Amino acid sequence: MTETQDHKPRMLRPGKGPTVLPKSGWTAPLTSFCAGVMAFLAVLTLAASFAANAVAEQWRADLAGVATVRLSTRDGDVDARTKAVLEVLRTTPGIAQVRVLTAKEQTALLTPWLGEGAALSDLPSPRLIDVRLLGTGPDRQALQGRLDLTVSGAVYDDHSAWRGPLTTAAEALERMAIIASLLVLLTVGAIVAFAARATLIANRHVVETVRLVGAEDSYIERAFVRRLMARAAAGAGAGAAIGALAILMLPSVETGDAALALALEPSTLQWAVLILGVPILSVGVTWLAARGAVRLTLRAMP
């Protein structure tokens, strides 16, 4: 067989096996492009979800276990009234620690709103007492009653009035971001299913011929699914990388707000989810969608 060995057909050379499907021409990159765009959007929405979760968690952590007593400075001897309030607080179960905020600390709290150099003494600002709680804290109404009996103009605020709506809003934002991410992944699935069906129909003559020479459906399915998965993997990988770069390039917001700072800095695990998880999920969704679409189309053939 020296003659034939000298003249080896292309197919028989190792590593050069032909694919059953012909090249798809200009439509081939469209699947990758769509998968890339969807992965980019998935990364952004997941990052938003992580940020919303971080904000909600931070607010919960910061505000739970903390309360404030505001004491009006308009009535009588403020120092004496402050001392009376502190006495009431120290003798109330559920309170771990109390501390009167200094003038400097109060000024720092108002600086974001009034700007640098505002004279606090010119404002009718109340005296603030920081209260650290034990467990769920004291009975709010009972404590307020004791304060009312002791001094006038003292208000106990456990922040529940605005903490509740804020954390609810943050949680809703987080849920919406997760739903958006899932919708993006479902869209990937829908695009891939369309692409699989279109490719199968465009190559119907190839599929029919391959079946008639003895190929099982699983063989044809593998050929299609592998091709689509390769395209989706390339697109999703690039999309996720660009999404991650976009997050890194977001301008930093220097508000001094710990919650916001945390939101803009995903943890290592969250980065792994964004950079690796999104492409892997996209490929998984592609596998499912392509497999389903190809199976359904093949079953319609005799």
Residues that bind another protein (CB under 8 A): 1, 3-5, 7-12, 14, 17-18, 20, 22-23, 205-206, 208-219, 299, 302
The residue (of 162 and 219) whose beta carbon lies closer to another protein is 219
Distance of closest approach, residue 282 Cβ to another protein, in angstroms: 28
Query: In 134-251, which ranges are E strands?
Result: 154-157
The residue (of 269 and 301) whose beta carbon lies closer to another protein is 301
Q: Supply the DSSP symbol for 66.
A: E
Of 69, 95, 269, the closest CA to residue 150 belongs to: 69
The residue (of 203 and 286) whose beta carbon lies closer to another protein is 203
Of 199, 274, 183, the closest CA to residue 236 belongs to: 274
Question: How many Å apart are CA 282 and CA 219, to the nearest integer?
Answer: 23
Of 251, 254, 234, 247, the closest CA to residue 273 belongs to: 247
8 A C-beta contact, residue 227 and residue 192? no
Tokens of 45: 């929405």
Distance of closest approach, residue 200 Cβ to another protein, in angstroms: 15
**Cα Rg, the chain, nearest whole Å:** 32
The residue (of 24 and 187) whose beta carbon lies closer to another protein is 24
Distance of closest approach, residue 167 Cβ to another protein, in angstroms: 55
CA 152 to chain centre: 46
Distance of closest approach, residue 215 Cβ to another protein, in angstroms: 4
The residue (of 14 and 115) whose beta carbon lies closer to another protein is 14
Distance of closest approach, residue 228 Cβ to another protein, in angstroms: 18
Question: How many Å apart are CA 22 and CA 38, to the nearest integer?
Answer: 26
Local structure of 128: helix, strand or coil: strand
The residue (of 9 and 117) whose beta carbon lies closer to another protein is 9
Distance of closest approach, residue 170 Cβ to another protein, in angstroms: 52
Tokens of 85: 């309030």
Residues in the chain: 302
Q: In angstroms, what CA-CA distances link 231 with 27, 28, 224?
A: 11, 8, 11
The residue (of 228 and 244) whose beta carbon lies closer to another protein is 228
Distance of closest approach, residue 16 Cβ to another protein, in angstroms: 10
The residue (of 14 and 251) whose beta carbon lies closer to another protein is 14
In this structure, the number of other CB atoms found within 10 A of the CB of residue 239 comes to: 26
Distance of closest approach, residue 30 Cβ to another protein, in angstroms: 20
- Report helix angle 204-212 to 217-248, nearest 10: 140
Tokens of 248: 């890194």
